[in-house]
Structure 1
Amino acid sequence: MLPILFKITGMWQVLLEHNMICHVTNEHQFVDKQTYYRWIIRDESRQRGSTKRPLLPSADELTSAIFFLNTVGPDALFRMILHKSSHERTPEELELVYEELLHVKALSHLSTMVKRELATVISFEQHYHAGTVLFHQGDQAKRWYIILKGSVDVSIHGKGIVCSLQEGDDFGKLALVNEAPRAATITLRDDDAQFLVVDKQDFNRILRDVEANTVRLKEHGTDALVLERISEPKGAAIEHSGSRALSCYSVMAGLPEKIIEYVLETRVDAQPDDAQEMDTLLEDFILTHLIYMSTNVLCNYLKTYYIRNTTSADPRLVTTNELDNEQKVTSKRRVVAFLSFWVRTLGLHFFFDPVANSFVEELYCCVLEDSRTLPGMNLILAKISSIRNQRESAQRSLARHPTVVIECGVLSTMAPAPNPILPSDTCNQIIHLSDTTSFAMSIRMDKSTREICELASARLRYTQSDKALCLVEVKSNGEKIIFSLIEISISTMLGLNSKLYVVYRDEIDSLQPQLDQNGPVESVHASILEFVSSSELAHQLFILHAQLLEATDEIELITQVIGREAFPGRLPSNLDLLMRRFNEVQCWVTTEVLLSLPAKRINTLKKFIKIAIHAKENRDLMSLFAITLGLSNIAVSRLSSLWEKIPTKLRRQFAEFESLLDPSRNHRSYRALVAKLTAPCIPFIPLLLKDLTFIHEGNKTNYNGLVNFEKMHMISNVLRNFRMCKAPFAGAHSDMSSRRNTDSQNLIRNFRVKND
């Protein structure tokens, strides 16, 4: 979040860049000190000899101007800082530049240390005319360029234009690395192109610094763990081994077993049980280990470490003496403490994993046995007993009676949110056949496609055992999705107005959408919309969305992005419902506006803008942006005569909401809004998934046989933001639900929508 002083500085810089003000001695940048500036417009009026008193702006014009300055001010501030030399940038300004660099695609694979080094030297360059040549093929390489705005063509002698680069791409780095001439000519495609630029000298220095601050621990002659020296370790990241502090390092890459060993020996002992914030490396490992190390492998390693007979693979810790009792206790304490942090991080969702669940009991038995023969085990026994008690409490929660999550395509009133969906919960699903008949079937969440087809086959008494049945989703637009045999939680994956078919493979081509999949032909909720207040509807949306958010585990985001097939048996059902809900609200808004009676359509439009305003006040960004996107639908936005009748204040408010969805600079406007909010809030889930997808696809999970832990750091940062948004919701739903309105509750759970 930008400090207020930074915001104001940025707004004044905008005025300076747009030639509204100027420094009395023509100093280009705006500076917050006792320096004089003058209004250029007023001076020009005096020069023309005008005697008319300038018209004062109206309140609406003033509000619009301030909104504009507030929107573009951060970009102007960023440019202003980049124009400063390295030694002129304050620590606060360097932090701001670093935060901006976090969202630059070309830099996503770089370590934190490199990004911070770049923040000190990176500069800004702007070119105003398309066709300008930045450099020619064969020129000497002097700079590395990153496109901040605009695009460029890349051309090679004899081949012409070979590709175009867009915002977020970079070029010119290879020639700096290889000390070679430019391999291509770069030409601007757009006017007013903006670039981040790193000079060759700074680029080479940073490369040298990176290598100098990198520690490589080898095993059998090859790298086993790659560490990066950090100047300011965050969190309780200092392990005390005598007088030595070994934790001024962050893991960059390593073998999975070496990473967990390093975490155990440099982080666990230093992390107090009652600390409000967990050590970053420890939390990163817990949140992301499933990507490269299964729970079974992790638990096996922890068991090995618990009973091990050597100290450490870290050469700085190796001793020639056998472990005495104190050292044995230390190893056992670390494993139990790690398990405690693991449970604390994932909460109830930890016990969803049967392997992790059984490991708690197995470790408890080991500690109990050791406590009878080994002194100093009492505190460890107390901690593992506490974890075991949590397990038993979780088992009672997980053993609750199964409940219906989705009732024939509609979110059930018995859905467990804010508690998570269990594998034993069910969906009452309509199964359609190729002859247009159908039947209802109760399906457990953990039933696979193969099992559903077998149940349907048994129920229908199909006898063609040589022909395999398929499970097919037919969407309202005619698109068909064939589910793989191992997919689970099928009902939560279905789109709005979709139908689920069980058919033979040779029948798939004949499947067509049904007429009722087009959605309603007249407004279903008009009367409720008219008589229930905007604030009440926004409040009920907030309650439901907060419940769905709390039920969703951050591991579900990983499962969704990396691929469900990589995590067999895991249910991302809660995330499915959250995403389905976003699409549902968006389609509901469009449907209600289009199906409103002409005389009431303007009131419906105004109503939704007001609901969006209340949603923003409630910090329900999911509702805010679903409504905004619904009203931005081309079928609604093209009703120009309707929008002209909307009061100016509401139109301006809606324009502000649309600007928050601007994707430029990696959705900078949205991120600036989120930075201002305090938890709890309901985030824009599609953008979180986009961020994770960008990180996953843009960075390898493994290279040279080592886990790329820099990628895990980046993924964890997104997951941490997700956790921060939802953490304060815990236990608060009884208060949020105190205001009850049956009509509005029924409305927001039972939308009838068009979605094509």
Structure 2
Amino acid sequence: MGCLFVFWLSNDTANDRVSFQGKSSFVLHRCCSVVLDIPDQVIRVFKADQQSCYIIISKDTTAKEVVSHAVHEFNLTGAPETYSLCEVSVSPEGVIKQRRLPDQFSKLADRIQLNGRYYLKNNMETETLCSDEDAQELLRESQISLLQLSTIEVATQLSMRDFELFRNIEPTEYIDDLYKLDSKTGNAHLKQFEDVINQETFWVAMEILAEPNQLKRMKIIKHFIKIALHCRECKNFNSMFAVISGLNLAPVARLRGTWEKLPSKYEKHLRDLQDLFDPSRNMAKYRNILSSQSMQPPIIPLFPVVKKDITFLHEALLNLRQLS
């Protein structure tokens, strides 16, 4: 399964601690209520004896800063300068790879893979960070299926990621895209957000089609319907549409035996979700929900509709100019 999530916390935290970088308290605002000036990601840092702590960071937190916090959390007496942050990963064949991260290395939560760990290493010692036994445990932990993940958490993480992409789009990018301009600033953020809907759509289909067991396939479909419902609660209409589109792709829709096993309750949920994006009357139902007084920001709109509206507005202005 592709790694689409910023973080999740292990249920087994009896021997783990959480460090709050520069804050005495931290609340993860679900449903994309993102506060931009506080840390909003979590990484887990290990020592060679396999003790660990959780450290809350931002995307700009550097490896050097993480080392400083980890030294404090582990109650180590040495100066932070004598330690470094290392990434240890294990290949499917069991090969252990270790590398020291540069002090200014950032985006740590985004870079770590399921088969990897961050370790605090004493630069004055030649200790083995990850034994063969620990490597096998890491491999086992990395074998996570979609059904093991909370549907609320998946929807939240999708929404946080999509909102981060959406809010980075500059207004000029829409103009550059509309007029096909090759400006200095470009429209990279817009293109990145535009690609998200296809990525998420095909992710849904691939998860379902990769499962050979019919009953498990049905459970995965049910799981995605729950995720779409939670995306609606998060006001993430882009991911909600992507999930529904993935369920409607022909290779998935043809799985007649799988769909027959789906409980009627979830069939109704899916029909209700599809009804929201009814294309009749220029997607009136979707537009009515978006314009209702109860719909307050942050909202992640359906991007194809945004792009269509900008294009139609541009063409209408051209026609008005020609008439005048």
TM-score (norm 2): 0.52
Using the aligned pairs only, state the percent identity: 31
Q: Give the Å deviation of 1:646.
A: 1.1
Deviations 1:10-39 (A, max 9, x none): xxxxxxxxxxxxxxxxxxxxxxxxxxxxxx
Deviations 1:515-536 (A, max 9, x none): xxxxxxxxxx983312111111
Q: Aligned partners of 1:604, 1:652: CA distance in 2, in Å?
A: 16
Q: What is the 5 A alignment of 1:18-29?
A: none
Deviations 1:335-381 (A, max 9, x none): xxxxxxxxxxxxxxxxxxxxxxxxxxxxxxxxxxxxxxxxxxxxxxx
Are positions 1:597 and 2:212 aligned together?
yes
Q: Aligned partners of 1:562, 1:603: CA distance in 2, in Å?
A: 45
Q: Aligned partners of 1:609, 1:705: CA distance in 2, in Å?
A: 48
Q: Aligned partners of 1:580, 1:560: CA distance in 2, in Å?
A: 14
Q: Aligned partners of 2:188, 2:180: CA distance in 1, in Å?
A: 14
Q: Give the Å deviation of 1:609.
A: 0.5
Q: Are residues 691 and 634 of structure 1, via their aligned partners in 2, closer, same or farther at CA, if it must alter by over 3 Å?
A: same
Q: Which amino acid aligns with 1:548?
A: L
Q: What is the 5 A alignment of 1:108-127?
A: none
Q: Aligned partners of 1:688, 1:415: CA distance in 2, in Å?
A: 28
Task: Report if the CA contact (8 A) 1:534-1:607 is conserved.
Answer: yes
Are positions 1:613 and 2:232 aligned together?
no
Aligned to 1:570: 185
Task: Report if the CA contact (8 A) 1:526-1:596 is conserved.
Answer: no
Aligned to 2:150: 533
Q: Which amino acid aligns with 2:318?
A: K
Q: Aligned partners of 1:602, 1:526: CA distance in 2, in Å?
A: 20
Q: Are residues 704 and 693 of structure 1, via their aligned partners in 2, closer, same or farther at CA, if it must alter by over 3 Å?
A: closer
Q: Are residues 579 and 527 of structure 1, via their aligned partners in 2, closer, same or farther at CA, if it must alter by over 3 Å?
A: same
Aligned to 1:631: 247
Q: Aligned partners of 1:558, 1:649: CA distance in 2, in Å?
A: 44
Task: Report if the CA contact (8 A) 1:562-1:696 is conserved.
Answer: no
Q: Are residues 526 and 633 of structure 1, via their aligned partners in 2, closer, same or farther at CA, if it must alter by over 3 Å?
A: farther
Q: Give the Å deviation of 1:626.
A: 0.5
Q: Are residues 543 and 704 of structure 1, via their aligned partners in 2, closer, same or farther at CA, if it must alter by over 3 Å?
A: closer
Q: Which amino acid aligns with 1:648?
A: S
Q: Aligned partners of 1:688, 1:637: CA distance in 2, in Å?
A: 27
Secondary structure of 1:600's partner? helix
Are positions 1:559 and 2:176 aligned together?
yes
Aligned to 2:128: none
Q: Are residues 686 and 526 of structure 1, via their aligned partners in 2, closer, same or farther at CA, if it must alter by over 3 Å?
A: farther
Gaps spanning 5+ residues in structure 2: where?
1-57, 61-141
Q: Give the Å deviation of 1:705.
A: 11
Pick from 280, 284, 288 the counterpart of residue 664 of structure 1. Answer: 280
Q: Give the Å deviation of 1:634.
A: 1.3
Q: What is the 5 A alignment of 1:503-542?
A: 527-542=144-159
Aligned to 1:693: 311
Pick from 273, 280, 298 the counterpart of residue 680 of structure 1. Answer: 298
Secondary structure of 2:186's partner? coil
Secondary structure of 1:630's partner? helix
Task: Report if the CA contact (8 A) 1:561-1:693 is conserved.
Answer: yes
Q: Give the Å deviation of 1:415.
A: 7.9
Aligned to 1:210: none
Secondary structure of 1:570's partner? coil
Task: Report if the CA contact (8 A) 1:612-1:623 is conserved.
Answer: yes
Q: Give the Å deviation of 1:594.
A: 0.9
Q: What is the 5 A alignment of 1:111-510?
A: none
Q: Which amino acid aligns with 2:167?
A: E
Are positions 1:648 and 2:288 aligned together?
no
Deviations 1:488-541 (A, max 9, x none): xxxxxxxxxxxxxxxxxxxxxxxxxxxxxxxxxxxxx98331211111111111
Q: Give the Å deviation of 1:701.
A: 7.2
Aligned to 1:736: none
Q: Are residues 704 and 644 of structure 1, via their aligned partners in 2, closer, same or farther at CA, if it must alter by over 3 Å?
A: closer
Q: Aligned partners of 1:662, 1:526: CA distance in 2, in Å?
A: 38
Pick from 536, 541, 546 the counterpart of residue 163 of structure 2. Answer: 546
RMSD: 2.4
Q: Which amino acid aligns with 1:618?
A: C
Q: Aligned partners of 1:613, 1:704: CA distance in 2, in Å?
A: 45
Task: Report if the CA contact (8 A) 1:526-1:592 is conserved.
Answer: no
Deviations 1:436-476 (A, max 9, x none): xxxxxxxxxxxxxxxxxxxxxxxxxxxxxxxxxxxxxxxxx
Q: Give the Å deviation of 1:602.
A: 0.9
Q: Which amino acid aligns with 1:641?
A: G
Q: Are residues 563 and 702 of structure 1, via their aligned partners in 2, closer, same or farther at CA, if it must alter by over 3 Å?
A: farther
Secondary structure of 2:318's partner? coil
Aligned to 1:732: none
- Structure 1: 4+ residue segments shifted above 4 A: none
Q: Aligned partners of 1:541, 1:703: CA distance in 2, in Å?
A: 42
Secondary structure of 1:686's partner? helix
Are positions 1:588 and 2:206 aligned together?
no
Aligned to 1:362: none
Q: Aligned partners of 1:554, 1:641: CA distance in 2, in Å?
A: 47
Secondary structure of 1:527's partner? coil
Q: Give the Å deviation of 1:698.
A: 3.5
Q: Which amino acid aligns with 1:688?
A: V
Pick from 567, 573, 579 the counterpart of residue 194 of structure 2. Answer: 579
Q: Aligned partners of 1:647, 1:673: CA distance in 2, in Å?
A: 27
Q: Aligned partners of 2:190, 2:153: CA distance in 1, in Å?
A: 25
Task: Report if the CA contact (8 A) 1:538-1:611 is conserved.
Answer: yes
Q: Aligned partners of 1:653, 1:678: CA distance in 2, in Å?
A: 23
Secondary structure of 2:144's partner? helix
Q: How many equivalent pairs are there?
A: 183
Q: Which amino acid aligns with 1:690?
A: K
Task: Report if the CA contact (8 A) 1:609-1:654 is conserved.
Answer: yes
Q: Which amino acid aligns with 1:552?
A: I
Q: Which amino acid aligns with 2:160?
A: I
Q: Give the Å deviation of 1:569.
A: 1.6
TM-score (norm 1): 0.23
Pick from 622, 625, 628 the counterpart of residue 238 of structure 2. Answer: 622
Q: Aligned partners of 2:272, 2:197: CA distance in 1, in Å?
A: 20
Q: Aligned partners of 1:573, 1:609: CA distance in 2, in Å?
A: 31
Q: Aligned partners of 2:236, 2:170: CA distance in 1, in Å?
A: 18
Q: Give the Å deviation of 1:611.
A: 0.5
